[in-house]
Amino acid sequence: MQLGLDISTTTTGYAVTTNDSIIELGFVDLKKQTDISDKAWTLVNHLCELDSLESVKDIIVEDSLSGFMRGRTSQQTIIKLAKFNAVVCFLCEYHLQIKPVLVGATTARKHLFGKSRIKGMTAKEFVKNRVEEKYDVNKFMKYTTRGNWDNRNMDALDALVVSKYMLPHK
């Protein structure tokens, strides 16, 4: 089993998968926690409560941004994400005794879908469409109190893509 993580300081997506099935898929809302250590402990404590965690053999983490996205990221945002990513990876390795492997989002999408995106479609839309074509994820998706599809599900879908990245084993 693999644990895939799409780590962010507001919402972190997670997926526990095997080669052919999805065991757990969801997200952890971290907006209420004020600092990096509170956010990291909240996330790791949530992950440690997952029933399937004992069977996880690999942890695959979407690598944090290394460049600026036009008008959407600042230097401070990239630094904050990199710090949080490092803290979560350390805590996962410490608690689970499994060293996380970092994989770029584009690499993971290419591995699973054969391409990373389609021109004219955002990467998030591409992932949502392709995942829904390939897997039945409806039972894992969350909805808002008004019955609308919760956009935080996108982080879970990104984690699913990362979890399906096949690691070369020793």
| Beta bridge partner(s), residue 4 | 15, 60
Whether 92 maps to a domain, the answer reads yes
Q: What is the predicted pLDDT for the residue at 68?
A: 46
Could you give the count of Cα atoms lying within 13 Å of 63 in the half-sphere of its Cβ?
A: 13
Give the pair of three-digit tokens for residue 13. Answer: 């997506």
- Residue 29's identity, in one-letter code, is D
| Beta bridge partner(s), residue 29 | 11
**Taking a C-beta distance cutoff of 8 angstroms, is the pair 162, 8 a contact?**
no
Q: What is the predicted pLDDT for the residue at 39?
A: 93
Domain range for 32 is: 2-163
Whether 94 maps to a domain, the answer reads yes
More confident residue, 143 or 124: 143
Whether 168 maps to a domain, the answer reads no
Percent of the chain with pLDDT over 90: 49
Q: What is the predicted pLDDT for the residue at 169?
A: 53
- What whole-number distance in Å separates Cα of residue 2 and Cα of residue 157? 14
- What whole-number distance in Å separates Cα of residue 143 and Cα of residue 145? 7
Give the tens place of pLDDT for each residue, 5-39. Answer: 999 889 999 999 998 899 999 999 999 998 889 99
Whether 37 maps to a domain, the answer reads yes
- Starting at the edge strand found earlier in the chain, the sheet holding 22-29 runs 22-29, 11-17, 2-6, 58-62, 101-103
Residue 91 has pLDDT above 80, yes or no: yes
Whether 123 maps to a domain, the answer reads yes
Q: What is the predicted pLDDT for the residue at 79?
A: 79
Q: What is the mean pLDDT of the chain?
A: 87
pTM of the model: 0.87
More confident residue, 78 or 25: 25
- What whole-number distance in Å separates Cα of residue 81 and Cα of residue 74? 11
More confident residue, 104 or 168: 104
CATH number of residue 13's parent domain: 3.30.420.10
Q: What is the predicted pLDDT for the residue at 111?
A: 86
Whether 169 maps to a domain, the answer reads no
CA-nearest of 128, 48, 52 to 92 is 48
- What whole-number distance in Å separates Cα of residue 107 and Cα of residue 116? 7
Whether 170 maps to a domain, the answer reads no
The total of structural domains in the chain comes to 1
Give the tens place of pLDDT for each residue, 93-135. Answer: 998 889 999 998 888 888 888 887 788 888 888 889 999 998 9
CA-nearest of 135, 142, 140 to 161 is 135
